[in-house]
Amino acid sequence: MSKLSKVFNDEFEEYLSVALFLALIVLCLLQILFRFVFNFSLSWTEELARYVFIALVYAASSLAVIKGAHVRVEIIDNFVQGKAKYYLDQVIEATWCAFMIYVGIYGVEITVEALRVSQVTPALGWQIGWIYMIVPVFFFLISLRLIQRMYQRFQNREVLMTSQNDLEVQ
Protein backbone atom coordinates (compact mmCIF):
# COMPACT_ATOMS: atom_id res chain seq x y z
CA MET A 1 0.00 0.00 0.00
CA SER A 2 1.45 3.35 -0.98
CA LYS A 3 1.92 6.12 1.55
CA LEU A 4 -0.75 8.24 -0.16
CA SER A 5 -3.38 5.51 -0.01
CA LYS A 6 -2.42 4.77 3.61
CA VAL A 7 -2.89 8.44 4.50
CA PHE A 8 -6.26 8.49 2.73
CA ASN A 9 -7.42 5.28 4.38
CA ASP A 10 -6.18 6.09 7.87
CA GLU A 11 -5.80 9.82 8.35
CA PHE A 12 -7.62 11.83 5.66
CA GLU A 13 -10.61 12.77 7.80
CA GLU A 14 -8.40 13.58 10.78
CA TYR A 15 -6.28 16.02 8.78
CA LEU A 16 -9.34 17.48 7.07
CA SER A 17 -11.20 17.93 10.37
CA VAL A 18 -8.22 19.63 11.99
CA ALA A 19 -7.75 21.94 8.98
CA LEU A 20 -11.44 22.85 8.90
CA PHE A 21 -11.51 23.41 12.66
CA LEU A 22 -8.48 25.70 12.47
CA ALA A 23 -10.08 27.59 9.57
CA LEU A 24 -13.25 27.97 11.63
CA ILE A 25 -11.27 29.34 14.59
CA VAL A 26 -9.40 31.82 12.38
CA LEU A 27 -12.62 33.00 10.72
CA CYS A 28 -14.37 33.48 14.06
CA LEU A 29 -11.37 35.30 15.52
CA LEU A 30 -11.27 37.59 12.48
CA GLN A 31 -14.95 38.36 12.96
CA ILE A 32 -14.43 39.13 16.65
CA LEU A 33 -11.32 41.21 15.97
CA PHE A 34 -12.94 43.34 13.30
CA ARG A 35 -16.24 43.72 15.13
CA PHE A 36 -14.92 44.67 18.57
CA VAL A 37 -11.48 46.16 17.87
CA PHE A 38 -12.00 47.93 14.56
CA ASN A 39 -15.76 48.46 14.98
CA PHE A 40 -16.31 47.06 11.51
CA SER A 41 -18.10 43.86 10.51
CA LEU A 42 -16.88 41.50 7.81
CA SER A 43 -19.93 39.75 6.37
CA TRP A 44 -17.92 37.22 4.39
CA THR A 45 -16.25 35.72 7.47
CA GLU A 46 -19.57 34.82 9.04
CA GLU A 47 -20.84 33.23 5.84
CA LEU A 48 -17.62 31.33 5.17
CA ALA A 49 -17.50 30.16 8.80
CA ARG A 50 -20.99 28.71 8.37
CA TYR A 51 -19.93 26.72 5.29
CA VAL A 52 -16.69 25.58 6.94
CA PHE A 53 -18.68 24.44 9.99
CA ILE A 54 -21.04 22.39 7.81
CA ALA A 55 -18.08 20.72 6.08
CA LEU A 56 -16.45 20.11 9.48
CA VAL A 57 -19.55 18.32 10.78
CA TYR A 58 -19.61 15.97 7.79
CA ALA A 59 -15.84 15.35 7.86
CA ALA A 60 -16.03 14.53 11.56
CA SER A 61 -18.99 12.22 10.88
CA SER A 62 -16.87 10.28 8.41
CA LEU A 63 -14.06 10.16 10.98
CA ALA A 64 -16.51 8.82 13.56
CA VAL A 65 -17.44 6.02 11.15
CA ILE A 66 -13.78 5.04 10.82
CA LYS A 67 -13.33 4.99 14.59
CA GLY A 68 -16.71 3.34 15.29
CA ALA A 69 -17.64 6.31 17.46
CA HIS A 70 -21.12 7.17 16.23
CA VAL A 71 -23.92 7.24 18.76
CA ARG A 72 -26.00 4.09 18.54
CA VAL A 73 -28.61 2.29 20.56
CA GLU A 74 -26.90 -0.80 21.93
CA ILE A 75 -29.70 -2.49 23.81
CA ILE A 76 -30.01 -5.25 21.19
CA ASP A 77 -26.22 -5.51 20.87
CA ASN A 78 -26.01 -6.32 24.57
CA PHE A 79 -28.23 -9.38 24.14
CA VAL A 80 -26.58 -10.94 21.10
CA GLN A 81 -23.12 -12.43 20.67
CA GLY A 82 -21.10 -14.37 18.16
CA LYS A 83 -22.76 -14.99 14.78
CA ALA A 84 -25.90 -13.02 15.60
CA LYS A 85 -23.87 -9.95 16.58
CA TYR A 86 -21.76 -10.24 13.43
CA TYR A 87 -24.83 -10.41 11.18
CA LEU A 88 -26.64 -7.69 13.13
CA ASP A 89 -23.68 -5.32 12.75
CA GLN A 90 -23.40 -6.08 9.04
CA VAL A 91 -27.12 -5.48 8.45
CA ILE A 92 -27.10 -2.25 10.46
CA GLU A 93 -24.11 -0.87 8.57
CA ALA A 94 -25.46 -2.03 5.18
CA THR A 95 -28.75 -0.26 5.91
CA TRP A 96 -26.91 2.85 7.07
CA CYS A 97 -24.75 2.74 3.94
CA ALA A 98 -27.82 2.42 1.70
CA PHE A 99 -29.34 5.48 3.40
CA MET A 100 -26.11 7.46 2.94
CA ILE A 101 -26.01 6.55 -0.75
CA TYR A 102 -29.69 7.50 -1.15
CA VAL A 103 -29.14 10.90 0.47
CA GLY A 104 -25.94 11.36 -1.55
CA ILE A 105 -27.79 10.73 -4.82
CA TYR A 106 -30.55 13.13 -3.78
CA GLY A 107 -27.85 15.65 -2.83
CA VAL A 108 -26.36 15.35 -6.32
CA GLU A 109 -29.79 16.10 -7.84
CA ILE A 110 -30.20 19.19 -5.65
CA THR A 111 -26.64 20.31 -6.42
CA VAL A 112 -27.17 19.96 -10.17
CA GLU A 113 -30.39 21.96 -9.93
CA ALA A 114 -28.68 24.66 -7.85
CA LEU A 115 -25.86 24.88 -10.39
CA ARG A 116 -28.42 25.14 -13.18
CA VAL A 117 -30.20 28.16 -11.67
CA SER A 118 -26.92 29.92 -10.84
CA GLN A 119 -27.95 31.21 -7.41
CA VAL A 120 -25.06 32.88 -5.55
CA THR A 121 -24.25 33.29 -1.87
CA PRO A 122 -24.96 36.77 -0.46
CA ALA A 123 -21.55 37.82 0.87
CA LEU A 124 -19.06 35.69 -1.02
CA GLY A 125 -20.81 35.65 -4.39
CA TRP A 126 -20.07 31.94 -4.83
CA GLN A 127 -22.46 29.77 -6.77
CA ILE A 128 -24.58 28.01 -4.13
CA GLY A 129 -24.43 24.70 -5.99
CA TRP A 130 -20.76 24.35 -5.10
CA ILE A 131 -21.66 24.78 -1.42
CA TYR A 132 -24.43 22.19 -1.78
CA MET A 133 -21.81 19.82 -3.19
CA ILE A 134 -20.56 19.34 0.40
CA VAL A 135 -23.51 17.06 1.19
CA PRO A 136 -23.16 14.42 -1.55
CA VAL A 137 -19.36 14.38 -1.38
CA PHE A 138 -19.31 13.65 2.33
CA PHE A 139 -22.29 11.27 2.25
CA PHE A 140 -20.51 9.22 -0.41
CA LEU A 141 -17.31 9.35 1.67
CA ILE A 142 -19.25 8.10 4.71
CA SER A 143 -20.68 5.32 2.49
CA LEU A 144 -17.16 4.37 1.42
CA ARG A 145 -16.03 4.22 5.04
CA LEU A 146 -19.04 2.05 5.95
CA ILE A 147 -18.22 -0.33 3.10
CA GLN A 148 -14.62 -0.49 4.34
CA ARG A 149 -15.84 -1.33 7.86
CA MET A 150 -18.18 -4.04 6.56
CA TYR A 151 -15.33 -5.51 4.49
CA GLN A 152 -12.96 -5.48 7.49
CA ARG A 153 -15.63 -7.16 9.60
CA PHE A 154 -16.17 -9.73 6.83
CA GLN A 155 -12.43 -10.50 6.75
CA ASN A 156 -12.47 -11.06 10.53
CA ARG A 157 -15.79 -12.93 10.60
CA GLU A 158 -14.43 -16.20 12.05
CA VAL A 159 -12.96 -14.39 15.03
CA LEU A 160 -16.06 -12.23 15.47
CA MET A 161 -18.53 -15.12 15.14
CA THR A 162 -16.81 -17.29 17.72
CA SER A 163 -16.07 -14.52 20.19
CA GLN A 164 -18.21 -14.19 23.28
CA ASN A 165 -17.14 -10.62 23.97
CA ASP A 166 -17.58 -7.51 21.86
CA LEU A 167 -14.74 -7.13 19.39
CA GLU A 168 -14.93 -3.95 17.39
CA VAL A 169 -13.53 -3.54 13.90
CA GLN A 170 -10.57 -1.18 14.03
Chain segment 73-82, per-residue pLDDT in tens: 888 888 888 8
| Residue 102 contacts residue 63 (beta carbons within 8 Å) | no
| Structure confidence at residue 55 (pLDDT) | 98
As a whole number, mean pLDDT of residues 141-167 equals: 83
| Structure confidence at residue 94 (pLDDT) | 98
Query: What are the b/e assignments for 94-120, b being 16+ CB within 10 Å?
Result: eebbeebbebbeebbeebeebeeeeee
As a whole number, mean pLDDT of residues 36-65 equals: 95
| Structure confidence at residue 64 (pLDDT) | 95
Q: Of the segments 5-9, 54-58, 68-72, which one has the largest average pLDDT value? A: 54-58
User: Over pLDDT 70: what percentage of the chain?
Assistant: 95
